[in-house]
Structure 1
Amino acid sequence: MRNIASAIARPYGVIFNHAASHRDDPSQVSEGFRCVLLTFHSQRRFAPDINARGRDCLTSLAGNQADFAPARALLPMLYVDNARFGAKSDQEREASLAQAFVLAKHAVSAAPDSARAYQALQSVLLFLGRSDEALEAGRHARELNPYDTDIMATHASTLIMLGDADPGLTLMQQARRMSPGHPAWYNTMIVFAACGKGDMELARREVALIEHDDTLSGLLARILVAHGEGDTARRRALAKKLVSQHPEFGTDPKAMLHRIFPASSLNRQLLAALNASGATSEE
């Protein structure tokens, strides 16, 4: 039952939204399910306290229930999120990624048939700069569970973030078709891929679906489309909102992008859009 919950909660946002309303009520959900829901809540919009609570919960769960493979697979992904969005220094970022790598390798060795474990390893390797190994881990995750739309979408997003827009877009669109309650980051990644291909018509259609998404990735996608359309006023307004939420983008956007995306053509496109916005010191 726990494996089923883990498999369906993230790709099907409607199910997650319903269950998440009970995440703090121990009488309504098991400890394992509560940890999984807390993890997914953290991944929707990063908050340091929720990320830390999720890591503590999963660490305890993995220690107390050795047969609960989803806990071991999810834990390294929270360390990756902390490295990308929460770390206050390069040293903290490197430490989080190092811990994520140890945990992901342990997850794979403990459950070599777990697609989720290889999905986690893919994410860790991507942000360690080991792109080829990340893609191989993602392909293996898909071989182990070819019908899991979240695993499919994670591999697609890896391709897109590495600047391989064509296959990434095809795979992400396939994942979306198979997941009617998909989370907004599917649309965000389609926007990034469309901009990477120069398909502004598709980018416009997709960004209209996330026009109220003020998450970090959502704002970046909206800025990128405004930049591509030459909408200076909208680009500046969105960049101002981005900097108000994440002040580091106002002083060193290049370093911030390096933290949250691997080096690629997408990274360069985003930096150009931010520098043109007038909201950064690198204009």
Structure 2
Amino acid sequence: LFVISRMSAFTYKNKPTKVRDISREMGVQYVLDGSVRKTDEQLRVAVALIDATNDRQLWAEQYDRPFTNIFAVQDEIVQRIVTTLNLQLTLWEQGMLVRKQTNSLEAYDYALRGVELSFRAAYEAKKDLNAQARRMFEKAIELDPQYAGAYAGLGKVHYQDWFYVWSPHPAQSLEEAFQTYKTAVTFDDSLPIAHAILGEVYLWKKHHDQARVEAERAVTLAPSDADSLMYLGSILIFAGEPNRAIGLIEQAMRLNPRHPPAYLVSLAIAYRVMGRCEEALVPLQRAAALAPHFLQTRANLAMCYAELDRIPEAQAEVAELGRINPNFSLAWVTQRVPFKDPAIIERMVAAFRKAGLK
């Protein structure tokens, strides 16, 4: 079952868009439309499944349920879609369509807020947003101490504290990220994103084999999950398989047409590692337009421009890196970057020196 990422679908929220336009832009045949209304204790969900190729409504339904039973309503809607489309899914696949990670709606709300804040922290390079995200995930965990998704979000916060050197004790933050992801997997071993980002932490701890195992586990659990594919692709770049990584990242982009800038940067890193800097500039420049303060974009632009002997542009990117994060340095690169092949790290250092990074 090919399902477009919810992040891409959300771009049409509250916008008067024709179903056929959505179908063409997203590359899908079916569109699920609907609305949710909530009173103090009652929830009304109205949904309609539309075949976008002929604008024909396949079915419509209205669900009036107690507000505390939202997850049961989600399951019911999904099962109706499966029946209507006559999809040949296994019971396991049906069970994965809607995950009930918590029975606490308040915890779920805090976790959603945390996800938004942690994404903004990375793309806007703001330490305070990361701190706010931490509080949201911690509140979610207080409400549901076994909420695996909230632990996964909290692990991301710890990881960003380490990566961007926002923590006064970076090594401790990386270890906290590692332990928090392991807790998420303990509470829900079938949660793809927990395995995927646990793989990322293994990568930055320079445990390449374990990183690959976790990311491949995530893809096995959710073969159509764009983020899991992207994380696996990113890990393979550092492990020495950039060609395979490109295919996985492009597949992730197809599954999530509104992909975040990190997808573009990962694709560019694969090109750069292969010595294809001209090609790398295309996704990097797109990423820079989407998120001008994203550290990874500026760092890779600086290296590519340096390797292409476009020194003024490389120097401008290094200057921008200093404004975004004064902690970024040659020492950061040599001590942290987890390429399995030391020759690639030497190439990176040479490019950064050429661009003027100290």
Which category describes the TM-score, using the shorter chain as reference length? 0.7 to 0.9
Q: Does 1:58 align with 2:137?
A: yes
Given the alignment, which residue of 227, 231, 238 partners 1:161? Answer: 238
Superimposed CA distance per residue, residues 107-145 of structure 1 (whole angstroms, 9 cap, x where no aligned partner) = 111101111221231122122221110110000011001
Tell me, which stretches of 5 or more residues in structure 1 are unaligned? 20-28
The 8 Å contact of residues 162 and 174 in structure 2, kept in 1 or not, is answered as yes
Identity %: 21
The residue identity in structure 1 corresponding to 2:249 is: M
Tell me, which stretches of 5 or more residues in structure 2 are unaligned? 15-107
1:134-173 matches, cutoff 5 A? 134-173=211-250
Q: Residues of 2 paired with 1:123 and 1:18: CA distance? A: 31
1:100 alignment counterpart: 177
| CA separation of 1:103 and 1:37: change in aligned 2, threshold 3 A | same
Q: Select the structure that is richer in helix.
A: 1
1:233 alignment counterpart: 312
Give the secondary structure class of the aligned counterpart of 2:287: coil
Deviation, structure 1 residue 63: 2.4
2:6 alignment counterpart: 8
The residue identity in structure 2 corresponding to 1:100 is: A
Given the alignment, which residue of 100, 106, 110 partners 1:31? Answer: 110
Question: Under a length normalisation based on structure 1, what TM-score does the superposition of the two structures give?
Answer: 0.81
| CA separation of 1:17 and 1:49: change in aligned 2, threshold 3 A | farther
1:193-232 matches, cutoff 5 A? 193-212=270-289, 213-232=292-311
Give the secondary structure class of the aligned counterpart of 1:34: helix
Q: Residues of 2 paired with 1:259 and 1:38: CA distance? A: 28
The residue identity in structure 2 corresponding to 1:256 is: W
Q: Taking CA–CA contacts closer than 8 Å with sequence separation of 6 or more, which of the two structures ends up with the larger relative contact order?
A: 1
Deviation, structure 1 residue 56: 1.9
| CA separation of 1:72 and 1:246: change in aligned 2, threshold 3 A | closer
The residue identity in structure 1 corresponding to 2:151 is: R
| CA separation of 1:208 and 1:48: change in aligned 2, threshold 3 A | closer
Q: Name the Cα RMSD after superposition.
A: 2.7
Give the secondary structure class of the aligned counterpart of 1:63: helix
| CA separation of 1:156 and 1:75: change in aligned 2, threshold 3 A | same
2:121 alignment counterpart: 42
Deviation, structure 1 residue 30: 3.2
Could you tell which deviates more after superposition, 257-266 or 184-193?
257-266
Q: Residues of 1 paired with 2:206 and 2:121: CA distance? A: 24
Given the alignment, which residue of 133, 148, 170 partners 1:69? Answer: 148
1:25 alignment counterpart: none
Deviation, structure 1 residue 246: 2.7
The residue identity in structure 2 corresponding to 1:276 is: K
Q: Residues of 2 paired with 1:260 and 1:182: CA distance? A: 26
Deviation, structure 1 residue 16: 7.3
